[in-house]
């Protein structure tokens, strides 16, 4: 992994959560937290004053829309990695989240270690959207529910490939493979890889 220290900004108007996130980031030697901001005006002022590599941005600020802020940031500073965070179910916003050019999404309920792993994967160039688009399989046709990447992973799982082998074949991290597998199981309401394999054969995935 690249040992470069990335200047980081948290944008969240809930100070208690922001300080908790800051403590998680303090354990990561490749990150340096520059500031906790609570508005777009603060963000633009900070970006004009110093180089920022990573922004963790709350979707819902008090008087502002984090998705719109993300789009503005990515248009002005395309090099900055922007990870959206939220305490709300993002399914209704899944299209907007991905259209705003965000590099990832992390629910605020996520375990600290998964937060760190997700950030590291995104800093390495991957896009990771945790728990995004996990609607019930009974409500959505399977063809629309499962993404093309997930279909690739299912096909490799059916071939008996391990997570490491899949990561090598698709040129993604093992963490991303595991995240996809968990999302697939959740989407299809399945409890194990064995049940996934049986389901995929029965439904010609």
For 54-79, what is each residue's pLDDT tens digit?
A: 999 999 888 888 999 999 999 999 99
pLDDT value of residue 100: 86
pLDDT band at 129 (very low <50, low <70, confident <90, very high): confident
Mean pLDDT of 89-105: 78
Q: In this predicted model, which residue has the larger pLDDT, 204 or 77?
A: 77
DSSP secondary structure letters along the chain: ---PPEEEEEE-S-HHHHHHHHHHHHT-TTEEEEEEE-SHHHHHHHHHHS---EEEEESB-SSSBHHHHHHHHHHH-TTSEEEEEESS--GGGHHHHHHTT-SEEEETTS-HHHHHHHHHHHHTT--EETT-S---TTTS-HHHHS-HHHHHHHHHHHTT--HHHHHHHHT--HHHHHHHHHHHHHHTT--SHHHHHHHHHHTT-
Mean pLDDT of 82-97: 79
All domains in the chain, ordered by first residue:
6-129 (3.40.50.2300), 142-202 (1.10.10.10)
């Amino acid at each position: 992994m690249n040992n470069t220290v990335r200047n980081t900004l948290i944008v969240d108007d809930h100070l208690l959560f922001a300080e908790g996130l800051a403590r998680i980031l303090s354990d990561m030697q490749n990150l340096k937290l520059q500031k906790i901001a609570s508005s777009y005006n603060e963000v633009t002022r900070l970006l004009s004053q110093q180089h920022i590599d990573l922004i963790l941005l709350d979707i819902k600020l008090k008087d502002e829309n984090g998705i719109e802020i993300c789009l503005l940031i990515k248009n002005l500073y395309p090099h900055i990695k922007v990870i959206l965070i939220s305490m709300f179910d993002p399914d209704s916003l899944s299209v907007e989240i991905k259209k705003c050019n965000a590099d990832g999404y992390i629910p605020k309920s996520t375990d600290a270690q998964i937060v760190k792993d997700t950030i590291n994967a995104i800093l390495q160039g991957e896009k990771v959207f945790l728990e995004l688009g996990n609607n019930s399989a009974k409500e959505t046709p399977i063809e629309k529910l499962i993404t093309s990447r997930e279909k690739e992973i299912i096909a490799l799982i059916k071939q008996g490939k391990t997570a490491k082998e899949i990561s090598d074949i698709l040129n993604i991290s093992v963490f991303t493979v595991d995240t996809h597998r968990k999302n697939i199981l959740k989407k299809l309401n399945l409890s194990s890889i064995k049940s996934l394999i049986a389901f995929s054969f029965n439904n010609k995935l």
